[in-house]
């Protein structure tokens, strides 16, 4: 009798047990905030491969177009350089947090928990009051305008390095094989420097002919860079789309010439390492 009772319980448990799917659903978020639901198959060097929701065919998206990817356990397992850079830029600043529920929280300091298994942000609301809030509960973070530091830095670097590049091209165009190399190079760059007689700089020739243009265009480039970032609302950082079909208020991709060069070099190295000779060449440099 006990034996039949055990069989009855076993059959009953099979019939009434909940059959929950074991696959983990993923959400791919691009830099504009558009989301794609599905199941990520693999993450390659150039592409992320996934099976879209309500489909059986594998689709792909370029890694450079992906902002971050998270699963239905609210865990981020892949994020872009732009995502990491945005997180770095908002830290230790004041501003406001706008939640997906429509609430607004003022903060005087902010720190991002980089543990992407449980992505949280520590907000310092007052001198003796702090609280953690999940990144997925945040629509956007709006910082103060101290973030314009990056605008000033970009405007200075682009304009200053443009002058150096123009001077270098001019050296190549006016190269005199009869003269020594160092005097020719120094004469060209000397045009970008002021006269500082106390240290003997340009004491004989006076202020360089390009110095006036340099001192005028660099501040102008900085002002243009700041104005552009204010117009584009670069002090607003978006994380979670409020609705699936609603885009971010701005594109969250961080433009960086340095990063573009590094990415291209990494791509070349990746292609070289696919063959034996290429691996040897890369190994010599490493």
- pLDDT over 90 (residue 77): no
**pLDDT, average across residues 14-23:** 47
Tell me the pLDDT tens digit for each residue of 89-133: 999 899 999 998 889 999 999 998 877 777 889 999 988 899 999
pLDDT of residue 10: 42
Pick the CATH number of 22-82 from 3.90.1720, 3.30.530, 2.60.40, 2.30.30: 2.30.30
Predicted confidence band at 222 (pLDDT cuts at 50, 70, 90)?
very high
What are the pLDDT digits (tens) for 23-52? 678 999 999 999 889 999 888 888 899 999
Q: Where in the chain is the domain with CATH 2.30.30?
A: 22-82
Output the pTM of the full model.
0.77
**pLDDT per residue over 57-73, tens digit each?**
899 999 889 999 998 88
Chain centroid to CA 171: 36
Query: 7: Cβ–Cβ under 8 A, 6 or more apart, which residues?
Result: none
Following DSSP, what letter does each residue of the chain receive, concatenated?
A: -HHHHHHHHHHHHHHHS-----PPPEEEEETTS-EEEEEEEEE-SSEEEEEETT--S-EEEEGGGEEEEEETTS-EEEE-HHHHHHHHHHTT--EEEEETTS-EEEESEEEE---TTS-EEEEEEETTEEEEEEGGGEEEEEE-GGGGHHHHHHHHHHHHHHHHHHHHHHHHHT--TTS-HHHHHHHHHHTTS--BGGGTBTTTT-S-TTHHHHHHHHHHHHHHHHHHHHHTTTTEEE-S-SSTTPPPSS--PPP-HHHHHHHHHHHHHHHHTTSHHHHHHHHHH-
- Segment of 129-133, 159-163, 262-266 carrying the highest mean pLDDT: 129-133
Least confidently predicted of 105-109, 193-197, 198-202: 198-202
């Amino acid at each position: 009798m006990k034996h039949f009772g055990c069989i009855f319980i076993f059959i009953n448990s099979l019939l009434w047990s909940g059959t929950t799917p074991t696959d983990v659903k993923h959400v791919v978020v691009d830099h504009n905030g558009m989301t794609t639901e599905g199941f990520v198959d693999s993450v390659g060097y150039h592409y992320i491969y996934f099976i879209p929701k309500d489909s059986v065919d594998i689709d792909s998206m370029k890694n450079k177009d992906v902002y971050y990817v998270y699963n239905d356990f609210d865990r981020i397992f892949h994020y872009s350089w732009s995502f990491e850079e945005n997180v770095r830029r908002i830290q230790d600043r004041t501003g406001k947090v706008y939640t997906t529920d429509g609430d607004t929280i003022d903060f005087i300091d902010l720190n991002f928990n980089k543990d992407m298994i449980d992505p949280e942000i520590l907000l310092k609301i007052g001198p003796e009051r702090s609280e953690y809030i999940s990144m997925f509960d945040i629509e956007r973070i709006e910082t103060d305008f101290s973030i314009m530091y990056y605008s000033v830095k970009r405007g200075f670097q682009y304009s200053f390095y443009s002058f150096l590049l123009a001077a270098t091209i001019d050296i190549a165009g006016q190269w005199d094989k009869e003269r020594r190399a160092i005097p020719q190079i120094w004469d060209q760059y000397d045009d970008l420097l002021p006269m500082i007689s106390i240290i003997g700089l340009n004491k004989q020739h006076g202020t360089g002919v390009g110095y006036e243009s340099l001192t005028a265009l660099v501040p102008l480039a900085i002002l243009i860079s700041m104005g552009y970032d204010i117009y584009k609302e670069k002090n607003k950082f978006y994380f979670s789309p409020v609705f699936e079909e609603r885009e971010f208020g701005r594109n969250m991709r961080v433009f960086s010439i340095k990063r573009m060069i590094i990415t291209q070099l990494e791509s070349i190295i990746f292609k070289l390492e696919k063959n034996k000779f290429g691996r040897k060449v890369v190994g010599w440099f490493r």
